Amino acid sequence: MKKFDLWLEFEETEGWEDLTNDFANIQVSLPDGRKYGINVWTFNFLTEVQKSESSIYILPPDLFVAELTRKCIDQTVSQLLEIGDLEQVLNPTVFSLNFLAPWEDTMLTHDLGEALEMELTKELHPTHPLYNSQFEIQAKRQDKDDILIEIVGGGLAVVHLTWSGKEERGIFPSTTFYRTPEDFWKRALKKDIIDWQ
């Protein structure tokens, strides 16, 4: 099984004349549902920025490399993954979720997200912990009536919709909360993807 897939901005667009003196965005996708968006600078680009920079600070990228080539970045990512998870080796902000089966990303299908949001809003009742919360539907399980929502203000939740079309009572719709995307990946998504395969 392939360890990871790479998307490299400099392979998709034109304008990179000197691959040893520039910057680019890359995306690393792992087969277990983790996805990393990483801002990469070359060593020479940092030197050029330092020479021309008039301010007293520089906001650094997530990663420095010798050159913007597939070979260099592939080797770099391989070595970093041997050390540990990229969100720990680099920084937590590079982490995001890649919704693989049995989950599907509702951001790709706007109508589906709207329908799920309408149903959830109907089912929530005044004693439910999500009542009056603002949220955004992120994903839906293909094999169950579970949806993943991102709660405005922080956190995520998996909600099992009843599809009753009306306000529920008690513990329904049943809900499991997660502190962060990493928490959801560790406690649920990783297992779901492995079990599905």
pLDDT of 58-107, one tens digit each?
888 999 999 999 999 999 999 999 999 999 999 888 999 999 999 999 98
Whether residues 92 and 107 fall in one domain: no
pTM over cut 0.85: no
What pLDDT is attached to residue 108?
A: 82
Give the dihedral sign, CA 150/154/159/165.
negative
Amino acid letter for position 26 = I
pLDDT at residue 43 is higher than 90: yes
Q: Widest CA span of the chain, in angstroms?
A: 64
Whether residues 138 and 74 fall in one domain: no
Domain boundary among 56, 81, 97: 97
Whether residues 88 and 109 fall in one domain: no
Whether residues 155 and 184 fall in one domain: yes
What is the total count of domains within the chain?
A: 2
Whether residues 107 and 192 fall in one domain: yes
Q: Report DSSP letters for 71-129, one per residue.
A: HHHHHHHHHHHHHS-HHHHT-GGGEEE---TTEEEGGG-HHHHHHHHHHHHHH--TTST
Whether residues 81 and 144 fall in one domain: no
pLDDT at residue 1 is higher than 60: no
Whether residues 114 and 66 fall in one domain: no
What pLDDT is attached to residue 55?
A: 67
Which tens digit of pLDDT belongs to each residue from 107-126? 887 788 899 999 999 999 99
Question: How far is residue 63's CA from residue 43's CA, in Å, rounded to a whole number?
Answer: 10
To the nearest whole number, what is the mean pLDDT of the chain? Answer: 92
Whether residues 83 and 150 fall in one domain: no
Whether residues 24 and 74 fall in one domain: yes
- The range of the structural domain enclosing residue 171 comes to 103-196
